[in-house]
């Protein structure tokens, strides 16, 4: 099946929306992911969702997600207000879902029991907000050392326990999956996929950081193509969104050409 490609705003956070849309159309993707955490850009700068939607419609682009509600498993009154703002914006934008990221502070001090309890509490509180707006919560396990939800199995068990599959799906991130050594995929539960490549070989997976995430080329350690193939073979037909965090990628004067080459490289191997 054809690969449905998207660009996360992390590809070029410095670009104004008009120029980022031009980048997305130039490299041939179907959709973009809007981020709520980039200062001076859409959402954070107060640009109405209707304005963003009109620009995307004019360019023939869809929205893959709004990324992200952080610390969703540390539920507070402040988190509830934040969730309402992000989810309502996503609904107005026509985004199918909002990415949900867990607490990942190394000093959080949570026990394993705390992690499980807080995860279920966050999911329960957030579910009615998602259902009210008709937006899916894309639960994204994060593989870094301080993460309170590293593996997909933990997320699947928690959503199942709260009977929440009417409001939730997984966001599968190839780098996070690689970083924590996860081995168990849940293709039927995945609603969004992030990809990025790792070229450096001087660090163990667990020691890699977000700025190490680049584009996907032949030197990739993450196994992006194998992960995408596995999901496609299991029936996944959602967006696969490029999400690099490397400053070298973001500030590359040849970014359009390099980005298109990376997407073409992935696509050629999947066809092969």
Estimate to the nearest angstrom the gap between the alpha carbon of 197 and the chain centroid: 14
Average pLDDT over residues 188-201: 98
- If we measure between CA atoms, which residue out of 20, 12, 18, 81 comes closest to residue 89? 81
* Average predicted confidence (pLDDT) for the chain: 97
Q: What are phi and psi of 220, to 5 degrees?
A: -65, 130
pLDDT over 80 at 2, yes or no: no
Residue 106 has pLDDT above 90, yes or no: no
The C-alpha atoms of residue 119 and residue 103 are separated, in whole angstroms, by 10
The number of residues in the chain equals 272
* pLDDT in the model for residue 271: 85
Residue 86 has pLDDT above 90, yes or no: yes
28 Rama class: left (phi>0) / alpha (psi -120 to 50) / beta: left
Do 232 and 225 meet the contact criterion of CB atoms below 8 Å apart? Answer: no
* Calpha distance 208→192 (Å, rounded): 23
* φ/ψ (deg, to 5) at 61: -110, 150
Please calculate the CA angle 90-101-49 and round it to the nearest 5 degrees: 15
pTM for the full predicted model: 0.97
Q: Stretch 97-125: mean pLDDT, rounded?
A: 96
Q: What is the pLDDT of residue 71?
A: 98
**pLDDT at residue 66 in the model:** 98
Query: Does residue 87 carry a pLDDT above 90?
Result: yes
How many domains is the chain built from? 1
At 191 the pLDDT is 98
Confidence of residue 1 (pLDDT cuts 50, 70, 90): low
Look at residue 246 and tell me whether its pLDDT is greater than 80. yes
CA distances from 70 to 8, 27, 35, 83, 199 (A): 16, 29, 11, 9, 27
Pairing type for strands 62-70 and 97-101 reads: parallel
CATH number at residue 110: 3.20.20.150
Tokens in use for 31? Answer: 């959709």
| Residues 196-234: tens digit of each pLDDT | 999 999 999 999 999 999 999 999 999 999 999 999 999
Give all strands (DSSP E) within the chain, no chain letters.
4-8, 31-35, 62-70, 97-101, 136-139, 168-173, 190-195, 239-242
By residue range, what is the domain housing residue 50?
A: 4-271
């Amino acid at each position: 099946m054809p690969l449905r490609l998207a660009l996360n705003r992390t590809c070029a956070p410095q670009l104004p929306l008009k120029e980022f849309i031009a980048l997305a159309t130039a490299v041939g993707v179907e959709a973009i992911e809007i981020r709520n955490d980039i200062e001076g850009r859409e959402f954070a700068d107060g640009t109405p969702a209707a304005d963003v939607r009109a620009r995307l419609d004019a360019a023939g682009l869809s929205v893959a997600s709004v990324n992200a509600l952080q610390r969703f498993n540390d539920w507070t009154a402040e988190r509830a207000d934040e969730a309402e703002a992000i989810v309502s914006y996503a609904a107005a934008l026509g985004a199918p879902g909002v990415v949900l990221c867990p607490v990942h502070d190394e000093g959080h001090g949570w026990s394993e029991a705390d992690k499980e309890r807080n995860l279920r509490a966050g999911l329960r509180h957030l579910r009615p907000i998602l259902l009210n707006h008709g937006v899916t919560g894309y639960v994204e396990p994060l593989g870094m050392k301080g993460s309170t939800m590293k593996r997909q199995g933990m997320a699947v068990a928690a959503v199942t326990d709260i009977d929440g599959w009417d409001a939730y799906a997984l966001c599968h991130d190839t780098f996070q999956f690689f970083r924590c050594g996860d081995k168990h995929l849940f293709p039927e539960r995945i609603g969004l996929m992030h990809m990025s490549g790792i070229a450096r070989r001087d660090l163990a997976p667990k020691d890699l950081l977000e700025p190490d995430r680049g584009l996907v080329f032949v030197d990739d350690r993450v196994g992006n193509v194998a992960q995408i193939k596995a999901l496609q073979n299991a029936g996944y037909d959602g967006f696969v969104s490029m999400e690099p965090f490397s400053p070298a990628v973001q500030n590359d004067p040849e970014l359009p050409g390099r980005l298109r080459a990376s997407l073409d490289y992935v696509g050629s191997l999947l066809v092969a």
